[in-house]
Amino acid sequence: MPNRLLLLSLPAMLWASDRFVHPTDVVRAVQQRFQNLKTYSAKFFIEIKESQKNKESSGLVYYQKGGKLNFTFHQPPGDVIVSDGKKLYVYVARLRALGIQDLQLTKEGKNLYETASPDGMMRLFQRYHYRFQNPQQPVTIEGATYYVLELKEKVASGSYEKILVYVNPQSYLIERMVAFSPSGREVRLRFANIELDRDLPASLFQFQATEGMRVVENPLATEG
């Protein structure tokens, strides 16, 4: 069956009244949905809770097939995270500091941005055991309906030991994620005003270091 026909048939299959919806059905639908995306754009909101301190940030996110990614922060202003599919650029404006990470060297699961590609999405569900958070699904949270998947790390790595994934039951897009680390850090990521398959300029996924930036190569944990 062609991918597009399969994608169109999934909602009807999952909502059939005589069929029990298994978390694996939802995961497959999410992966298939993501595999068929060409581009994605949305508003994002991040809240980090750590050591009784809260930090909030927000902005716009853009994705293009091939692992190309752009998080442009409005708060804090000037911060940018860009991936061209091969390297990840993390720029902190207040420090004028730029981290350049070779994605081939990054340990899987060290950040949530790895899910911005079909391969990253596959790895996420391979590295974690997953189930519905509650037997009664879907559930309504803050006026919206979701399938809520609870992911628990199969092998402890020091990264996120548990992740909650909130899936829209009509579009099979992930609209929220909450990640918990062993140290007590909690990261909440939410998307809004999602647009699919619009034309995006190539410049969004390119980053050029300028004079005066302090550049650090491969700052994230690496293999070996």
pLDDT above 70 for 80 = yes
Token code pair at residue 137: 């699904």
CB of 152 within 8 A of CB of 160?
Answer: no
∠ CA 112-114-118, nearest 5°, is: 130
Q: What is the pLDDT of residues 187-199, one digit of tens each?
A: 999 999 999 999 9
What DSSP element (H or E) covers 27? helix 23-35
How many of the other CB atoms lie within 10 Å of CB of 81?
21
Boundaries of domain holding 198: 3-217
User: How much is the average pLDDT of 139-144?
Assistant: 93
pLDDT above 70 for 8 = no
Q: What are phi and psi of 80, to 5 degrees?
A: -145, 140
> What is the model's pLDDT at position 115?
57
Residue 66 lies in a domain: yes
Residue 222 lies in a domain: no
Residue 223 lies in a domain: no
Q: What are phi and psi of 202, to 5 degrees?
A: -60, -25
Q: Report the domain count for the chain.
A: 1
- pLDDT classification of 109: cutoffs 50, 70, 90: very low
> What is the model's pLDDT at position 157?
82
Residue 201 lies in a domain: yes
Residue 76 lies in a domain: yes
Q: What is the pLDDT of residues 202-213, one digit of tens each?
A: 999 999 888 889
Q: What are phi and psi of 203, to 5 degrees?
A: -65, -20
Token code pair at residue 170: 């009509």
Q: What's the CATH number where 79 sits?
A: 2.50.20.10
Residue 224 lies in a domain: no
Closest CA to 167 of 151, 154, 181, 153: 151
Q: What is the pLDDT of residues 34-75, one digit of tens each?
A: 888 899 999 999 999 998 889 999 999 999 988 899 999 999
Token code pair at residue 52: 């009784």
Residue 71 lies in a domain: yes
Residue 206 lies in a domain: yes
